[in-house]
């Protein structure tokens, strides 16, 4: 838009540029790929892989350093999964929920902590991978697949019985729910991360020094909470798909 | 872009965020007030109450964020331009 472009070109401070919807396209056959998202995602994956290798290289009985940190993270994720899915069936889902949580958490915080904007790329700018709708939709669809898989594996075709529990006229609502679950999961994460980045960018545009710091701290806090929420909800959907009939479960 | 479409989009974006903030605002106020009541009645349960409160506040905040997503689409990726 004209006015917004004027706003973008107004600033004198090079770190305070505001670019939404501009992508660094890579062409791969007929596909268009958002290059900046691919770069930052692989950075996040690299950080996670290196951290896991460092933590598991010399495993000791009494953990120290990185191993201690990773064991703390694992325990946290295990407890989260256990409370949502239940004592009996939580174990096979810990890796999935843990992957979701760690990837989202590290990418949110990388967007807030690493000054990506110092690295110039031809078009668009490097930012948190979860600030792009494609990443969050992919994660949300994975969650959908996971809970369908969980339901069918546990109950076979009897999973469709869930759709008419507790009363038959719930059927259309349950079907709509299958679509709104990934929609709300992806929009919640995408909107929160993008909103954080926009608020910080607008404040930096207005007052470059010191004033944006509390907002940045708030951003760190909300991004951590969003990662927690995504993982909790994914686990609770999986638990809901596997639970036996007859007992109520909290819905979101 | 057609000036009428531009004007309508900007107005719609403002309304989307502004109206979308009302409901969650009331809800968050209610939830926080009740949480304070709970802590005043049972100070030893503060940790548990705080955790639940933060989680539910984030859910309410998501509603405003949906409005924000619509506003951002209208401003930066307008399908009608």
* Residue B16 falls inside a structural domain: yes
Share of chain A above pLDDT 90, in %: 26
Under DSSP, is residue A198 helix (H, G, I), strand (E, B) or coil? helix
Residue B64 reports pLDDT greater than 80: yes
Residue B81 in any domain: the answer is no
Q: What is the pLDDT of residues A108-128, one digit of tens each?
A: 999 888 887 777 777 777 788
Residue B31: predicted pLDDT: 95
Considering only the beta carbons, identify the residue of B1, B66, B78 that sits closest to A187.
Answer: B66
Spatial separation of the C-alpha atoms in residues A158 and A218, rounded to whole Å: 45
* Structural domain contains residue B30: yes
Tell me the C-alpha to C-alpha distance, in Å, between residue A102 and each of A134, A252, B50: 18, 22, 23
In DSSP notation, A221-243 reads: HHHHHHHHHHHHHHHHHHHHHHS
Residue B12 lies in a domain: yes
Q: What does the domain layout of chain A look like in residue ranges?
A: 2-242
% residues pLDDT > 70 (chain A):
88
Residue keyed to tokens 């940790």:
B47
**The predicted structure's pLDDT at residue B77:** 79
The residue-averaged pLDDT of A29-40 equals 84
Q: Is B63 on the interface with A (CB under 8 A)?
A: no
Structural domains counted in chain B: 1
Residue B31, chain A, CB below 8 Å: the answer is no
Query: What is the 3-state secondary structure of A18-30?
Result: CCCCCCCEEEECC
> Does the beta-carbon distance from B55 to A192 stay under 8 Å?
no
E strand or H helix that includes residue B35:
helix B3-41
Asked whether the beta carbons of residue B62 and residue A20 sit closer than 8 angstroms, the reply is: no
**pLDDT over threshold 90, residue A143:** yes
A4-16 pLDDT tens trace = 554 444 444 444 4
Stated as kind and residue range, the H or E segment containing A36 is helix A35-57
Domain enclosing residue B10, as ranges = 3-76
pLDDT of residue A246: 52
Chain B hits for A1, CB-CB cut-off 8 Å, are: 1, 6, 75-76, 78
Average pLDDT, stretch A77-81? 92
- Residue B41 within any structural domain of the chain: yes
Chain A and chain B share a number of CB contacts under 8 A equal to 48
User: How many whole angstroms separate alpha carbon A13 and alpha carbon A159?
Assistant: 57
Tell whether the model's pLDDT for residue A102 goes beyond 80.
yes
Tell whether B52 is within 8 A of chain A (Cβ). Answer: no
Given this model, what pLDDT does residue A20 score?
Answer: 62
* Separation between Cα atoms, residue A144 and residue A205, nearest integer Å: 39
CB-nearest to A187 from B1, B69, B75 is: B69
| CA–CA–CA angle B38, B42, B45 (5° rounding) | 90
Which CATH number characterizes residue B40's domain? 1.20.20.10
- Confidence band for A245, pLDDT divided at 50, 70 and 90: low
Question: How does pLDDT run across A181-214, given as a tens digit for each residue?
Answer: 898 899 889 988 988 888 888 888 888 788 888 9
Closest to A110 in 3D by CA, of A43, A202, A21, A171 = A43
């Amino acid at each position: 838009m004209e006015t917004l472009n004027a706003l973008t070109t107004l600033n004198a401070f090079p770190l305070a540029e505001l670019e939404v919807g501009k992508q660094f396209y890579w062409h791969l056959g007929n596909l268009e790929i958002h290059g900046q998202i691919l770069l930052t995602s692989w950075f996040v994956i690299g950080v996670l892989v290196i951290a896991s290798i460092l933590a598991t290289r010399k495993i000791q009985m009494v953990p120290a350093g990185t191993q201690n940190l990773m064991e703390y993270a694992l325990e946290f994720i295990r407890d989260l999964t256990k409370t949502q899915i239940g004592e009996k069936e939580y174990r096979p889902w810990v890796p999935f929920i843990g992957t979701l949580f760690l990837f989202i958490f590290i990418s949110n915080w990388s967007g807030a902590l690493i000054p990506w904007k110092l690295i110039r790329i031809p078009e668009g700018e490097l930012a948190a991978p979860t600030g792009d709708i494609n990443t969050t939709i992919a994660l949300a669809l994975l969650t959908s697949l996971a809970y369908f898989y969980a339901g069918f594996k546990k109950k076979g075709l009897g999973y469709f019985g869930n759709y008419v529990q507790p009363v038959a006229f719930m059927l259309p609502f349950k079907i709509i729910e299958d679509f709104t679950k990934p929609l709300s999961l992806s929009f919640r994460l995408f909107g929160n991360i993008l909103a954080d980045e926009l608020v910080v960018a607008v404040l930096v545009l207005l007052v470059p020094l010191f004033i944006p710091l509390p907002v940045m701290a708030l951003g760190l806090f909300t991004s951590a909470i969003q990662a927690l929420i995504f993982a909790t909800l994914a686990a609770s959907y999986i638990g809901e798909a596997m639970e036996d009939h007859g007992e109520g479960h909290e819905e979101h | 872009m057609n000036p009428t479409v531009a004007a309508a989009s900007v107005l719609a974006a403002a309304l989307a965020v502004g109206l979308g903030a009302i409901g969650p605002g009331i809800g968050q106020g209610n939830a926080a007030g009740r949480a304070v009541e709970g802590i005043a009645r049972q100070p030893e349960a503060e940790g548990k109450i705080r955790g639940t409160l933060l989680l539910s506040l984030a859910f309410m905040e998501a509603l405003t964020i949906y409005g924000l997503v619509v506003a951002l689409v209208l401003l930066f990726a307008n399908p009608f331009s």
